[in-house]
Homo-oligomer: A and B are copies of this chain.
Amino acid sequence: MAKEHVIVCEVGPRDGLQMAKTIMPTATKTRWIAAIAAAGVPEIEVGSFVPARLIPQMADTAEIVRRAVLLPRVVVVALAPNLRGAQDAYAAGAHRVSVPVSVSEGHSRANTNRSPMEQVAEVGRIVAWLGTQPRRVEVEGACSTSFGCSIDGAVPEANVVRVAEGLVAAGVDGIGLADTVGYGHPAQIRSVVRAVRAAIGDKLEGLHLHDTMGLGLANALAGLEEGIRNFDASLAGLGGCPFAPGASGNIVTEDLVFMLESMGFDTGIDIERLVAARAILAEGLPNEPVHGAVSRAGLPRTFRMAA
């Protein structure tokens, strides 16, 4: 029987690095991304088109995208918070643009100086502009703070649904729900996924989870059981949460892959090669905290032995 496929998108070069205290040199970043791609990771979010004065770690994103699209097979994703960024992503050759829309008002204002619905309108402008270009570029609507907000607190499900519906109406190719600050729990993941799917069906594609409270993989499991087959993750759990000093970042890619492959899903990823890519990360950011169980414990002898 063919195994069911799950897509893992590595977001360390974007979400992980933007929290880093130092700047990874472009050459190291390029080698790191190439190593992740060579391990079989099918999608990589390689950077974001934001002003360098705001996030200096992302100043070389155009160059990184230009190099990443030369790698075989991998889908190169770039984050863009506005039309200007999306145009830059297009010019650099990105295959997909991920546009964040915060569901909570406070986070939306803090991040983009727009209300959630004003940012949905910006996504509409991005979709419209990309539609006039000769090359097809996908647009993903990334619903930030879908499971709680460090500024506004609890986020009502109805608000997540409203933003997701707005994004679908704006013409995005797919929707991801992000637990930006890592406040979500498994029952909530199930509930929000169900509510959003009831509203927008298969346009709901992915989950973007943080491990702030240690529930990252349990939340991924809850999403998996609700039919989600697309997860963001970051090698070594790079990153963190600006509101929780010392907290982990995204869920750890290699641990997620271990869970999925153990459960009989096919990710197409070679865990050992993926774990080996941590060495380049450590070389590029020697003082950054790293996380992960697979790299620490090694693969168990039962791995891949199950029928």
Contacts and interface: CB of A to CB of B under 8 A. Distances in A.
A301 interface: yes
Interface string A271-303: 000000000000000000000111011101110
Give this chain's copy count. 2
Contact of A294 (B186, B213, B263, B294): B213
Contacts of A122: none
Contact of A217 (B215, B301, B306): B215
B150 A293 contact: no
A198 interface: no
Interface in A212-237: 212-215, 217-218, 220-222, 225
A183 B213 CA distance: 22
Contacts of A185: 259, 262-263
Nearest to A262: B185
A154 interface: yes
A153 interface: yes
Interface stretch (A14-22, A53-61, A247-255): A247-255
Interface string A80-119: 0000000000000000000000000000000000000000
B154 A305 contact: yes
A302 B148 contact: yes
Nearest to A301: B153
Interface residues of A, number: 45
A241 to B, nearest CB: 7
A194 B307 CA distance: 18
Given A218-B218, A220-B218, A306-B154, A300 B187 contact: no
Most buried by B among A211, A294, A298: A298
Contacts of A247: 293, 296-297
Given A302-B148, A302-B153, A214 B264 contact: no
A258 B211 CA distance: 13
Contacts of A262: 185, 187-188, 215
3 smallest CB-CB distances across A and B, nearest first, come from A214-B293, A185-B262, A247-B297
